Structure formats: structure tokens, C-alpha cells
Structure 1
Amino acid sequence: MRADPISPAPAPPIRRGHAGRLENALRNLALGHGTVIEHRERSWASITFAGTRHSLRIAFEGPEAIEGGEALIACLPDHEFALPGRLVADATICAVDHVLEAADGSGPRLVVTCEFLVLEDA
């Protein structure tokens, strides 16, 4: 028996903890669509608050997924996140790149870059 020479692409890593909950909340806002292609997280603190800053790039490929990305863009500014032990103090769309036909012929693609300030809830 021969093994299939084509193997599926590896699934993106699933983040755990608060970062994973943030990614899941964004996926829900995007109607279940989107692939996180980059997620950077760094500590943040002021005199009175502590938390983390998150920067995410999320790709949406194909018309149905792009609709989800557009829903994310529309909902994010006013969305109230329910993250246990955390408060999303700021959520911003920083960039939106929309390509109707990629150079490799893969079809339409939307990439959304967003940033968050997530505070530890006292």
C-alpha cells in the first residue's frame, strides 16, 4: 500500500489561555471564519493597570470568509468582549488589505490587522 504523497497543510497552532479566548471571540465575530496568521502579545502596564497588548493579522479567503471578515470589521469597534478575568479596554482595526485576485490565482483574500489592549480585571 502506497502512502498518499500529498499531505494536508498543518493546522494553525491553537492558543490557550486568554490569547486563545481572544482569538475565539474574534472568530465568532467573523461568523466562524478567518485564520490567524500572526498573533503578537506583549506585556503592558500603567501606574494603575496591568495587562497585555495584542496585535493580530487574520486572513479570510474566498467570498464567504470575506463576508465574515467584513462582519468582524463592522462589529469590532462596539463589541463588548466576555473574557473571564480580563477587560478589553481598546480594540482597533489598524489595516485592511483586500485583494480581488491573488497573484497565485487563489482568488479573493482579505487580511485584517487589529490591535487590542486587554487589562487584568481586578
Structure 2
Amino acid sequence: MSAEGKVSRPPRLRRTVTDRLRVAVLQLADHQAQVISHSETPWASITFAGTRHLLALVFAGDTAVEAGERFIAALPEHEFMIPGQLVADATVVEAEHRLFPSPRLSATCELLLLEEG
């Protein structure tokens, strides 16, 4: 409690564009993926500025692999809703299936985000 007798709340964490993108990608993957790595690099052209993101995902198990296959099919046309950003390009640059010792799908995707403004 604060000195005024009010319950104090912990400070609200601000989610970054990177955080929001990761959440959106995991939602598209039906929360069946694990993000193994996520890197971002600044990107700019004469008229636009933004960031290029490279995410490596793993889908482990039958249900997750099925979700991964849907994710790969849906990603290029998916309309992301990330405030202040436009996803200009989203592609799967690598995918690998394994059946042994258990079903597993690894996918690497690249997304180009442009700042709206």
C-alpha cells in the first residue's frame, strides 16, 4: 500500500515492436511453436524505415507440426496488426521436417516491418 492508503500496482511494462511481433507470430502458429532465436536489423530505403526480423521456430509433436504446416501456408498472406507498423513482407526462408525420434518441424521466417507515419 502507498502512503495514501491506495494499493500500488507494479509499473506496466511497455511492449516493444519486437515483443508485439513475437506475440503475433506465436498467435498465427496457434501457440504451438517455440521461438528458438529472434534477431532484428535496421532497414531503410529512400522513402521507408523499419526493421528486418529473422525468427527460428520449432514445432514439436504431431499437433504442433500440423500447426506449423498451417503457419507456413498462412504466413505470406497474413495481415498482422502491430500498432505503428506495416508488415511489408513475410516469408518462410527455410523449413525442415523430422519424424524420428518424434515429429518435429523447424521453420525460419523473415519479416520486414516498416514504420507507419
Q: TM-score range by the shorter chain?
A: 0.7 to 0.9
Q: Does 1:20 align with 2:4?
A: no
Alignment of 1:1-122 (within 5 A): 16-101=15-100, 105=101, 107-122=102-117
Residues matched between the structures, number: 103
- 1:58 to partner: Cα distance: 0.3
Separation in structure 2 between the aligned mates of residue 22 and residue 67 of structure 1, nearest angstrom:
22
Render the CA deviation track for 1:38-88: whole Å, top value 9, x for unaligned. 101000111110000000100000001111111111111111100000000
Q: Compute the RMSD of aligned alpha carbons.
A: 0.9
Could you say which structure has the larger radius of gyration?
Answer: 2
Q: Secondary structure at the match of 2:67?
A: helix
Q: Following the alignment from structure 2 to structure 1, what is the Cα–Cα distance between the partners of residues 21 and 52?
A: 12
CA contact (8 A) 1:31 1:71 kept: no
Q: State the shift of 1:21 in Å.
A: 1.0
Sequence identity percentage: 52
Opposite residue 78 of structure 2, the aligned amino acid is: H
Distance 2:97 2:29 in 1: 16
Runs (4+) of structure 1 moved beyond 3 Å?
A: none
Q: Counterpart amino acid of 1:44?
A: W
